[in-house]
Structure 1
Amino acid sequence: MTRSQLSLAWLDSLVLLSASSVSAGVVNGSFQSGFAGWTGAGPNSSVPVNFINVASTSPAPTDSTLMAYLHNGTGAKSVALNNVLLNSLGLPASYISTNFPGATQGATLLQTFNLTASENEIEFDWNFLTNEDLPPMVGNRDFGFAHLLNNANAIVGSAVLDTNSVGFTSGLGADYDHELGWQTVSFSGLTPGATYRLVFGVFDVTDNFTNSGLLIDRIVAVPEPSTALLFGIGSCLCLASRRRR
């Protein structure tokens, strides 16, 4: 093997190592395989565009053809039952009622995963839908939430959407009258190689009869910038070396 061939082989190994290190720790984060890899309670499904009509439009997935849809309508589970589910997965028995006083019923979705040695951030897209009255009208504050917990069950990332969020589009939809629109959330500063739990939920507040929904898509683990840069440099060097041969 010549020196140039040896160098090329080393570069190929570097690229393969970098490529494997940027693979996502989340399983089925775009829900193309339904809810494989996820544990849920209450009404949730993996749905395509045109499945939901809200504010006279049909929200489309942000990644590929399917997205997760959770709602607090028919089939919604009580806070007590959601707490039982989460407790069976190692979370506190009063998880929902403690973190969200006033919540009555809804749906949850959860996955436990390990970040790779190079990943330190989780990113996802979500969209909140509701039939509740929006300010300045007085309505109940139905909400959707995302929590990221570490292996000690401490919340290290938190985001909430509710009827007081800014940016709703309103209209007469067959399923929902108000849509917040897709938003991207990032939980950064995580520990590479560590174990985390990602919990999503959407819940009624006070009553049990006005529906709200939560769409989720494109859940990915993000590599540290240095790892992504190394992969890019390795790819460029490998390509340049091949061209010189």
Structure 2
Amino acid sequence: MTVINGNFETGTFSNWRTIGDNRIETAALGTGTSEGTFQALLTTGASASGGAVEQADIEEFLNLPSGLLDNIANGDVTEGSAIKQTFTANAGDVLTFDWNFLTNEGIPSFFNDFAFFSVNPFALELADTNSPFSSTSAVGFNQETGFQTITVGIAQSGTYTLSFGVVDVSDSVVDSALIVDNIQVIPSFSIGATSKSDIALTAKGFIGESPLSTSTSIDTLSASTSIGTLDFISRTSEISLT
């Protein structure tokens, strides 16, 4: 079973499990959308859909070791929100998704809120208050990174849990948020026909293989955690808004 409702075009979180303040938004949010009409918004605040929860609750929900989130951005995580879904993939398939990080924190800030994703058992930061930002028209937020795309190769056939989250660091007063959309697993047999040019299938580009590096560059992202290192080839690039 591949990712279901990865573009949230049901207008709901159908097939996703959620914790904290998560809601479905349209372009009316003020950021545009990366694809289709609907997108998922996760925040560190509170709304009619719920409120952010404590770090321990997020880590338990995502089956992450206690304290792991503190290590991602080297700060004291206080609260946040997350969503997750379990999917199956074959060796050579590619996971891809679009994301946009929004914040009201200073940029940069000691209160280094951040957004992340995980593919069990690894977690990787997407952005924090040190990331490049531009002003935004998003309702309730001052800055956004803009939509970007990440692609990840799958080395071993199996079942994985994909998660997304956003957290406050060192306080719980000023809010940040993560938009995710267009989440899909592209079968290996169709990769040659895809229009996404940032897919890289290389020896170290797959989940499940031994890490070879912990370096970080624009095109190579690595995550060192207390339970291992995920090293994959990826590219973050601006995509057009609709």
TM-score by length of 2: 0.70
**In the alignment, which residue of structure 2 is the partner of 1:104?**
78
DSSP 3-state at the match of 2:8 = coil
1:134 to 1:220, Cα distance in 2 relative to 1, 3 A = same
CA contact (8 A) 1:72 1:212 kept: yes
Distance in 2, Cα, partners of 1:194 & 1:72? 32
* Equivalences for residues 166-185 of structure 1 within 5 A: 166=132, 168-170=133-135, 174-185=139-150
Instruction: State yes or no: 1:190 paired with 2:155.
Output: yes
Over aligned residue pairs, what C-alpha RMSD do you find? 2.4
- Give the share of equivalent positions with the same residue, in percent: 32
Displacement after TM superposition at 1:175 (Å): 0.6
Whose helix proportion is higher, 1 or 2? 1
* Equivalences for residues 87-126 of structure 1 within 5 A: 87=63, 91-97=64-70, 99=72, 101-115=75-89, 117=90, 120-126=93-99
**In the alignment, which residue of structure 1 is the partner of 2:187?**
223
**In the alignment, which residue of structure 2 is the partner of 1:77?**
53
- Residue from 109, 117, 133 that aligns with 2:106: 133
Distance in 1, Cα, partners of 2:190 & 2:61? 37
Task: Structure 1: give runs of 5+ residues left out of the alignment.
Answer: 1-23, 53-57, 233-245
Q: What are the superposed Cα offsets for residues 78-100 of structure 1, whole Å, 9 maximum, x if unpaired?
A: 1122223234xxx4455534555
CA contact (8 A) 2:117 2:125 kept: yes
**In the alignment, which residue of structure 1 is the partner of 2:22?**
44
**In the alignment, which residue of structure 2 is the partner of 1:162?**
128
DSSP 3-state at the match of 2:5 = coil
TM-score by length of 1: 0.69
Distance in 1, Cα, partners of 2:151 & 2:79? 27
Instruction: State yes or no: 1:147 paired with 2:109.
Output: no
**In the alignment, which residue of structure 1 is the partner of 2:4?**
27
Distance in 1, Cα, partners of 2:32 & 2:139? 16
How many residue pairs match? The answer is 188
* More RCO (CA 8 Å, sep 6+): 1
Q: What are the superposed Cα offsets for residues 219-241 of structure 1, whole Å, 9 maximum, x if unpaired?
A: 010122xx127989xxxxxxxxx
